[in-house]
Amino acid sequence: MSIKVTILGNASAKPTAHAHPSSQVVNINEQLFLVDAGEGVQRQMARLGISPLKLRAVFLSHLHGDHLYGLFPLLSTLGLYGRRTPLQIYAPRPFGEMLEGFLRLCEQNLPYEPQWIEVDTTKHQIIFENDTTQIWSIPLRHRVPTAGYLFRQKEPALNVKKFAIERYALSVAQIVAAKRGEDITLDSGEVLENRLLTYRPYPAIAYAYCSDTNYSARVATLCRGVEMLYHEATYAAAERKIAKERGHSATTDAAKVAEKANAGRLLIGHFSSRYKDLEPLLKEAREIFPATEIAEEGKTYLIEDARQAE
């Protein structure tokens, strides 16, 4: 089953009339996760026909305004729309204090509970898990505590091939055992290897979101083998020094991380407002990592198991 990533904003902090700050919706098995929430996120969702009521949880990388200021208006609107289910917001400290102030001063009567779950930005660990999905934190290197997020589909349960059931006249007990991954011994004494009897109904896809951050070899290691990596590329290679000083990456940094991680594809975003034309940035990244794309506002990227298909 694929993962879908919809870009709501691809700009960095200075607002422009044509671009929105960082925000995206990650759709895993029809669970919608909002990742970062720059100003205007709810308007972008309305434009793209994504119902905010469907949000399963929110993940904030860090507490700079261009990743944050759209969240409170969205929380407010969810109240107007009558959400009742608690909403988990994963974010570094001191988000809890901000949320407390918001609830006390701005929204005393929300009909649901926004719940803060603190993210330790120094650790790579599972912070969310259910039947189908694991979400891991990734320590990033920015001016303030910042985490990336690694979305991993879990391996789906094994299915038993129909032809095998018929050919070997497998019993219910044998089918259940095969689903558990066991080899099957027939009455004849013949042993059937599990891999010949079963298959995964869909591949487990992984997607990593890394913004904002300096180049980090550790990030590449932690994102090893992801089908798609979103990595910030605030600056062109010529401004690499400025990027480094400000806790950001240049196009070439993003491409090197993707290459080192052996990622399937690279999406670059979080562009400085100084770049009116993004083509030169794309070109720079592609020289190092050809499977690079610009994260375009309003576009949905379908992540499939490209390497298996090849």
With binding defined as CB under 8 A, does residue 17 bind a second copy? yes
Work out whether 109 is an interface residue with a second copy (CB under 8 A): no
66 counts as catalytic: yes
DSSP strand pairing (3-9 vs 184-185): unpaired
Of the candidate residues 32, 36, 37, 39, the single one contacting a second copy (CB under 8 A): 39
Element (H, E) at 270: none
107, 259, 293, 305: which one contacts a second copy (CB under 8 A)?
Answer: 107
Nearest residue (CB) to a second copy, 80 versus 191: 80
The closest of 142, 150, 138 to 64, measured between CA atoms, is 142
Q: Which is nearer to a second copy, 59 or 72 (CB)?
A: 72
Q: Where are the alpha helices (DSSP H) in the chain?
A: 41-48, 71-80, 95-105, 162-168, 172-179, 194-197, 217-222, 240-245, 251-261, 279-288, 306-309
Beta pairing partners, 228: 207, 265
Q: Least CB distance from residue 114 to a second copy, whole Å?
A: 14
Using rule CB under 8 A, residue 151 touches a second copy: no
| C-alpha angle 179-206-257 in degrees, rounded to nearest 5 | 145
Q: Based on CB atoms, which residue is closest to a second copy, 42 or 292?
A: 42
x-marked contacts with a second copy along 61-100 as a string, rule CB under 8 A: --x-x--xxx-xx--xx--x-------------x--xx--
- Window 152 to 211, contacts with a second copy (CB under 8 A): none
- Residue 276 C-beta: closest distance to a second copy, Å: 14
Q: Which is nearer to a second copy, 106 or 126 (CB)?
A: 106
Positive or negative, the Cα torsion across 288, 291, 297, 302? negative
How many amino acids of this chain bind a second copy (CB under 8 A)? 28
What secondary structure letter does DSSP report for 158?
P
Structure tokens at 105: 């001063």
Which among 66, 131, 187, 212 is annotated as catalytic?
A: 66
Amino acid residing at 45: M
* Site of tokens 């007990």: 173
Chain residues in the site for a second copy (CB under 8 A): 13-17, 39-40, 42-43, 46-47, 63, 65, 68-70, 72-73, 76-77, 80, 94, 97-98, 101, 105-107
The residues carrying an active-site annotation are 66
